[in-house]
Structure 1
Amino acid sequence: MEKIKNIIFDYGNVIFEINFKRTQDALLQLGIANPTEFYGHRNQNPIFDNFEMAGVTADEFRAEIRKAANNLDLTDEQIDEVWNSLLIGVSANNHDVLLEVKKKYRTFLLSNNNEIHYNWIIKHIQEKYGINNYDAFFEKAYFSQLMKLRKPNVNIFEQVIKENNLNPTETLFIDDSPQHIEGAKKAGLHTLLMDLHPEKLEDFLKQHKLL
C-alpha cells in the first residue's frame, strides 16, 4: 500500500485477544437464557451500545444485566467478572509490532470500549507490561465511551479524521468486524479486515506490505 501514510487500528482481536464465547457462556451461567442473541460479535442488546457511548453509567449497566438475568441479588463483582471474561490479553509481541509500525506511519487506536472493560485493560497492561496507557504506541488512542460515539457510525471516523487532519485517501483502517469496515468505507478510508488471530498481527501487516 504505497500511498498509505496513516493507520487506524481497532483493538479487540486485532491487538488484544477477546473471546465472545467465554462471555456468552458466562452470561448463560448468570441466568440469561439467550446469550448469543443478547451479546455477540455482530449483534447485541442496545444496553451494550449505550454503555460503549457512556449513555448509561456502570451502575445502570449492571442494573440492566440484573434485569436480564432476572436476579436482582447479583453483586457488582459477579457482573464485572462475567463481563470481563471477554478479555484475554495482548497477543504475542504486538506492543513491539505497534512501535515498529509507528516508525513508518502516523498511527491511531479506535476502540469500542466501556468503563468496566477499560479499567480492566489499563490494570492489565500496568501490571503485566509496566505501562500506564497506550500513549507510547499511538499518536492518539480513541475510546468510544470517552467520545460518546461508536463504530460503525460514520461520525466516529469523521471525528478522528478531522481532529488529526488526516487525508482519508492516505489512511487505512484495520478491524476484525465487517460492519465496522463498512462504516469506515463510508468515511472514505481504505480498509482491511483482520482475518487472522491477533497473535498474527505482524504476519498480517507483512502480508499486506505494511511492514
Structure 2
Amino acid sequence: MIKNIIFDFGDVFINLDKQATYKELAKLGVTEVSEEMMQVYYRYEMGLITTKEFIDFYHKKFNIAKKDLINAWNAILLNFPLHRLEFLKELEKSSKYRLFLLSNTNELHISWIQNDWGNNLYQEFKNCFEQFYLSHEINLRKPNENIYEFVLGENNLLASETIFIDDTKENTDIAKNMGIHVWNINPETEDVVNLLNRKEFL
C-alpha cells in the first residue's frame, strides 16, 4: 500500500522547455557543452558553489554579459498549470498520503519561480508538502542513490510504501532499484493529476 508520495518539480508541476537554455546560450556564442561546464553545473545544483561563482565562471569563460547569462539560464522555466495545484491541495487535504517534493533545483531557478509566481502562490504550493527538498539546499542531487537514502531515512519511510514521480528515467531507475515504486512521467502525454488512477493506488 502506498503511504508516501515523492514528487519531482520540473515537468511534473511546472512546465519546462529543456532545450531553451541551450538555444539561448547558442545565440550568445556558446554552442558546445564541455565536461567542465557540466561539472560546474552539477556543483551549483548541489549548492557547492554560489550563484556569483556560477555566473562568474561563464562570464569569464565566454565574456558574456551576466544579465544575458541569467536570462539564458532561466529560459528553461515555463508556466505552472493551476489545475495541478488544485490536485495537490486536494491530495494534501485528504491526509491519505505523506507528500514530499524532491527536486534538482538551483538558486537562480527557484528565485525566478518565486518572482514569477509571487510569494502567495509559491507558499501555497510549498505548504502542501511535509518536506520540500531542493538539491542546492541539501547538497545532494538525483540520480545519486544517497539523495533517496536521505529522504527515506530522514522521514522514516519504507521504500515499499513510497512512490516517486519524475520525468527523467535515470532518476526513476535508481529509485526503482532501491525498491521504491516509480512513475517515469512523460510530460508530453501524461499529467500528474492522474496519479491516483495508476495501479499502485487501485
Query: Does structure 2 conserve the Cα–Cα contact (< 8 Å) formed by 1:9 and 1:110?
Result: yes
The percent of aligned pairs where both chains have the same amino acid is 35
State the partner residue of 1:125: 117
Query: Using the alignment, how far apart are the partners of 2:130 and 2:189 within structure 1?
Result: 21
Query: Does structure 2 conserve the Cα–Cα contact (< 8 Å) formed by 1:53 and 1:114?
Result: yes
Matches within 5 A, 1:91-102: 91-102=81-92
Unaligned runs of 5+ residues in structure 2 are: none
State the partner residue of 1:29: 27
Query: Does structure 2 conserve the Cα–Cα contact (< 8 Å) formed by 1:84 and 1:117?
Result: yes
* TM-score, normalised by the number of residues in structure 1: 0.85
**CA offset at residue 94 of structure 1?**
0.9
Query: Does structure 2 conserve the Cα–Cα contact (< 8 Å) formed by 1:93 and 1:199?
Result: no
Query: Does structure 2 conserve the Cα–Cα contact (< 8 Å) formed by 1:51 and 1:114?
Result: yes
Query: Does structure 1 conserve the Cα–Cα contact (< 8 Å) formed by 2:59 and 2:66?
Result: no
- Residue-pair matches, total: 198
Unaligned runs of 5+ residues in structure 1 are: none
Residue type at the aligned position of 1:83: W
3-state DSSP of counterpart to 1:31: coil
Quick one: structure 1 residues 32 and 182, their matched pair in 2 at CA, closer, same or farther if it must change by over 3 Å?
Answer: same
State the partner residue of 1:148: 139
Q: 1:118-177 CA distances to partner (integer Å, 9 max, x unpaired)?
A: 1111222226x6443643211111000000000001111111111111111100001000
Query: Does structure 2 conserve the Cα–Cα contact (< 8 Å) formed by 1:5 and 1:170?
Result: yes
Query: Using the alignment, how far apart are the partners of 2:179 and 2:3 within structure 1?
Result: 15
Match of 2:73 among 76, 80, 83: 83
Matches within 5 A, 1:1-211: 3-34=1-32, 37=33, 45-68=38-61, 70-71=62-63, 74-102=64-92, 103=94, 104-126=96-118, 130-132=121-123, 134-197=125-188, 200-203=191-194, 205-208=195-198, 210=201
Query: Does structure 2 conserve the Cα–Cα contact (< 8 Å) formed by 1:173 and 1:189?
Result: yes
| Cα RMSD for the two superposed structures | 2.2
* TM-score, normalised by the number of residues in structure 2: 0.88
Query: Using the alignment, how far apart are the partners of 1:202 and 1:159 within structure 2?
Result: 26
Query: Using the alignment, how far apart are the partners of 1:137 and 1:188 within structure 2?
Result: 25
**CA offset at residue 198 of structure 1?**
8.4
**CA offset at residue 66 of structure 1?**
2.4
Q: 1:184-211 CA distances to partner (integer Å, 9 max, x unpaired)?
A: 12432111100134882213x1441549
